[in-house]
Structure 1
Amino acid sequence: MRNNSGDINWGIIGCGNVTEVKSGPAFSKVPGSRLYAVMRRDREKLIDYARRHSVPKYYESAEALIHDPEVDAVYIATPPGSHRQYALQVASANKHCCIEKPMALNASECREILDAFAGKSAQLFVAYYRRSLPRFNQVKAWLDAGKIGAVRHVSWGYSRPPSERALSGEYDWHTDPQISGGGHFVDLACHGLDLFIYLLGDISAAKGIATNQQGLYPAEDAVAACWIFDSGITGSGHWNFGAGASCDDVIITGSAGSIHFSVFGSGPFVLETAAGVERADISNPENIQYFHIENMIQHLRGNLRHPSLGQDGQKASWVMDQILSGYYPPTTAI
């Protein structure tokens, strides 16, 4: 600990939109945590962010933030293309690190990051915050209690219309594979795939087909996949970013019932069994990463194991690599 208050002082690299409400304010709301420094190359936006969020220090250099002796932990909130670079620097400084999802451009880069933190006292987390949300832990509780019997299959269908940005031809790093690792599939599907691994165990094999149906950008815009968990549970999914309407439907099918929910929506979770239908309507916190950050602080205090450590976060990247292997050149396997 480097400060007298006993709080963990966090520094954010990349204080963009994702940190405005989802995460940034929660770093100072969680007991034992404080947002102490932020970094952004655009000085005007950097100073404005620091002022609005009452952040004591701000830097235009990531290296300066990382090596600030009063910064205990670093949250990397930049696009995935720079995650590896910054994570290796944080590891070299032996400071705790939380990386935005997906963990890196591919599983090979994830492995490099894991190796860099191996044997160090610094802890590595990945911002798969759904693992810490009460909403999804209700699903886990139903599964752990055997409410639907033996789980047989999980399916996820996700679609949405193309964005105005895509239709206008405006550049979007989310669909630049060199920056994002793929398209909207990589940005969004990683949340659900990681959640399924959390709920149902590790995935041992995955296959997929990806294509570009609209020609609006170089990344894939339509994906279909299937996979199998170590336990023998099967899974399937399809994602389309050029549909006429939006949908986000997950069904976990068991030998004695099913669970229905949405990965990104806020509607109730529905449990259907022979005994009837049960609904759980659990709201998210104002700052959706609050419980994720709270769990990081508790992990650092030795009170629990955080549900999304580095070795957990790399698993979804490996699955996506397998699904997209026919669309992008393969990367080194884990």
Structure 2
Amino acid sequence: MNPFFAQTPIKWGIIGCGNVTEVKSGPAYQITEGFELFGVMRRNLDKAEDYAKRHKVPLYTDDAKALIHHPEIDAIYIATPPDTHKLYGLQVAAAGKPCCIEKPMAPTYAESLAIYNTFKGKNIPLFLAYYRRSLPRFLKIKEWLSDDLIGEVRHINWYKSRTASPLDRSGEYNWRTDAKIAPAGYFDDLASHGLDLFIFLLGDIVKANGFATNQQSLYSAYDSVSGSWMHKNGAMGSGSWNFGANEARDKVEIFGSNGEIRFSVLDEEPIELITPEKKESLVIPHPKHLHEFHVLNMKRHLLGKEIHPSTGESGLHTSWVMSKIIGQN
């Protein structure tokens, strides 16, 4: 593959330096050799300044266009809620700069497609922040599958539930449950991680469908979703996500012709391999900054060393699957 940048340092700007960038993602751009976090933007200038001073970032602003077009910034990470991903993504593409967009790519598949086509048409690298594709914990599961330790995969099932939070019950505004921003609420925010991971582990999904409803009437987005799908290799899949249950659970089971693999997507539980020959349980901790390996892989991609596991193309496919499950046109 051809490099987009011939050399480092590569200077990044973040649009939306909120909570997700404090520990999970922002510092990863600072600890990655060859990357520099040069500027941050937030609509509240005081908060942008506070973030910049605490994280020792040279530039801060409340103007996204100023950040995008700053001559010293080479690439942009969009960490805003999904409803502005298309707005800012198209501006970054117009500026000719590589971009990483927080998941999901956009509230609808149509918007995701518009973002993807724009970057593809300009031959500019586009990444999605599905960082689980780069985490050692899930790479070990992929290794077990690649080594056929459970034989041919027959079925994958995920059950994810949680109780309604005090914020949900209070009626206080939460963009994650606003149907205009995230039509399926926590499904968009959380289940997207798992569906994208399953595609990474088992290959593209060729058929998907499902049902979505609002059982609690606490907010405008869906709070209960169930779905089924089929991977290109013939493996079947099913999932149920309920955000008003009596307890929190996060359980994935991959059933094969010679065993099974058990793990959680969002909880940091052991990964388990169970076959007639062996039983193995491994605890593989996440790094302090969850995006660390994801960001490192972006550097390798931009320098032409290897293709990133989470690109615009893979992120678009995940958006398509999600749209099919919730019945979105």
Please state which band the TM-score falls in when normalised by the shorter chain: over 0.9
SS in structure 2 at match of 1:223: strand
Shift of 1:209: 1.1
1:134 maps to which residue? 136
Which is further off, 151-160 or 208-217?
208-217
2:60 matched to which residue of 1? 58
| Change over 3 Å in CA distance of 1:177–1:315 after alignment to 2 | same
Q: Does residue 208 of structure 2 align to residue 171 of structure 1? A: no
1:1-334 equivalence runs, <5 A: 6-325=8-327, 330-331=328-329
CA contact (8 A) 2:158 2:253 kept: yes
Displacement after TM superposition at 1:120 (Å): 2.5
Mean CA deviation greater in 112-121 or 296-305: 112-121
**Structure 1 moving runs of 4+ over 3 Å:** none
Amino acid at match of 1:270: E
Q: Distance in 1 between matches of 2:280 and 2:292?
A: 27
TM-score (norm 1): 0.95
State how far apart, in whole Å, the 2-side matches of 1:61 and 1:90 are.
13
With structure 2 as the length reference, what TM-score do the two structures score?
0.97
Amino acid at match of 2:52: A
Unaligned runs of 5+ in 1: none
Q: Tell me, yes or no, if the aligned pair for 2:182 and 2:221 is still in contact at 8 Å.
A: no
The CA distance in 2 between the partners of 1:4 and 1:251, in whole Å, is 43
Cα distance between partner residues in 2 of 1:161 and 1:227: 26
Provide the aligned length of Structure 1 versus Structure 2: 327
Listed one character per residue, the Cα deviations across residues 278-332 of structure 1 (whole Å, up to 9, x for unaligned) are 112111000000000000001111111000010011111111111111xxxx33x
Q: CA deviation at 1:223?
A: 1.0
The one-letter code matched in structure 1 to 2:119 is F
Shift of residue 121, structure 1, vs aligned partner:
4.3
Structure 2 CA distance, aligned partners of 1:109 and 1:43?
28
User: What's the CA shift for 1:96?
Assistant: 0.6
Provide closer, same or farther for how the CA distance between residues 227 and 121 of structure 1 changes in structure 2, counting only shifts above 3 A: closer
Task: Name the CA distance, whole Å, in 1 between partners of 2:317 and 2:205.
Answer: 8
Cα contact 1:74–1:97 (8 A) shared by 2? yes
- Amino acid across the alignment from 1:292: H
| Contact 1:227–1:236 (CA under 8 A) maintained in structure 2 | yes
- The answer for unaligned runs of 5 or more in structure 2 is none
